[in-house]
Amino acid sequence: MIPFHQIPANIRVPLFYAEVDNSQANTAQTTQRALIVAQITTDGTATPGVPAISQGSDDAIRAGGEGSMLALMLAAYRFNDQFGEVWYLPLADANGATAAIGRLTITTAPTAAGTFYLYIAGVRIAQPVQPTQSVSDIASALVATIQGTKGMPVTVDASSGTVNFTARNAGPGGNEIDLRVNYLGTPGGEVLPTGMAYTLSPMAGGATAPDLAAAFDGLGDMAFDFVVCPYTDPVSLDAVKNFLDDINGRWSWQQMLYGHAFTTARGTLGALVSIGTARNDQHSSIMGFNDSPTPAWIWAASLAGASAVSLRADPATPLQTCPCSAYCRRPYKAALHWAIVTRCSMTA
């Protein structure tokens, strides 16, 4: 006897009776998770290579360390996706990796009072200066102000009028930490104090990214729909490609876990075209940009967060016109329309 929910069991009138039982229809629940791959500092409590779910921006600071790539990327992601489930894959600095360094030298003290505006990774440092200060005094005051600003991706020290910057995380990500003076310029009320002069050496020398292939091996069979990659060097991008590959990766018939990777690259039009034409990976999207004070890995997290919100709502909505709120802690919020420089179009 076949039980029915709507047709009474005591009907005796001959006829064909049928009903549709939808009680078991679409009972599956799919959580579209995001995964942020990022480095931690020695102050971080997370275990390298072991994925963990994020409980909020504060736990990322504890897990990754103050000013770590992990803490800053999670904050950028949450700026665009406040409610999605987010995991992070913490990475230790690679063995033998070098940290990027930069230098600001105050060559001449001001002859009038004013404010020296220094931007570090898009964060504005407003330092009052006086004509009574020496170049050493100004450098020391800058160091104190920077050290008192939370979330800075660099450590600083001063010596004889020179401020030295060292990236908290070793590797190529440190080269993305932008240093500039008076970013807003005269229209924004930022001008160099009268008589003051300086020289600025950008962050450089960071080398050797962590091994992503080894890190991905520890993810097991947990599904992640949105993967944030902070690197654009060929070795790292190839590791992401193999991770999501159609033949042996997550898009293969053996795994069917799927997912898409997001990263960004800084450069001129010619440089970005070269990066894009060198890739052939339908599972990764690279957003191109230039001359932003915000590091590429923060842009990558912002891009993934905006994509996740749009794709969860409607995977058929094109992403090339989706606005992305740039988390950069500047005096304004930028609206960006993405320029994807991968050879293959991004699909939901």
pTM of the model: 0.84
pLDDT tens-digit profile, the chain (348 residues): 567 777 777 777 787 778 777 666 555 557 899 999 999 999 999 999 999 999 876 888 999 999 999 999 999 999 899 889 999 999 999 999 999 999 999 999 999 999 999 999 999 999 999 999 999 999 999 999 999 999 999 999 999 999 999 999 999 999 999 999 999 999 999 999 999 999 999 999 999 999 999 999 989 888 999 999 999 999 999 999 999 999 989 999 989 999 999 999 999 999 999 998 898 899 999 999 888 999 999 999 999 999 999 898 888 888 877 776 554 433 333 333 334 444 333 333
* Region for residue 20 given its phi and psi (left: phi exceeds 0; alpha: psi -120 to 50; beta: otherwise): beta
CA distances (Å), 115 to each of 21, 109, 131, 201, 339, in order?
Answer: 72, 12, 11, 20, 36
Which pLDDT belongs to residue 14?
A: 81
- Fold for domain 34-92+210-336? Rossmann fold (3.40.50)
Which pLDDT belongs to residue 23?
A: 64
Pair of tokens at residue 342:
């991968």
- Fold for domain 101-204? Alpha-Beta Plaits (3.30.70)
Q: Could you give the count of Cα atoms lying within 13 Å of 140 in the half-sphere of its Cβ?
A: 7
Amino acid at 106: I
Instruction: Please count the other Cβ atoms lying within 10 Å of the Cβ belonging to residue 177.
Output: 26
Domain residue ranges of the chain, discontinuous segments joined by +: 34-92+210-336, 101-204
Q: Where are the alpha helices (DSSP H) in the chain?
A: 57-64, 69-80, 135-147, 212-216, 234-243, 269-277, 296-313
Which pLDDT belongs to residue 16?
A: 78
DSSP 243-302: HT-SSSSTTSTTT----EEEEEEE--HHHHHHHHHT---TTEEEEEE-S-SS-HHHHHHH
Which pLDDT belongs to residue 15?
A: 78
Which pLDDT belongs to residue 341?
A: 42
* 344: CB partners within 8 A, 6+ apart: 280, 281, 282
CA–CA dist 241, 285 (Å, integer): 11
Which pLDDT belongs to residue 328?
A: 44
Nearest to 237 by CA among 220, 258, 215, 261: 261
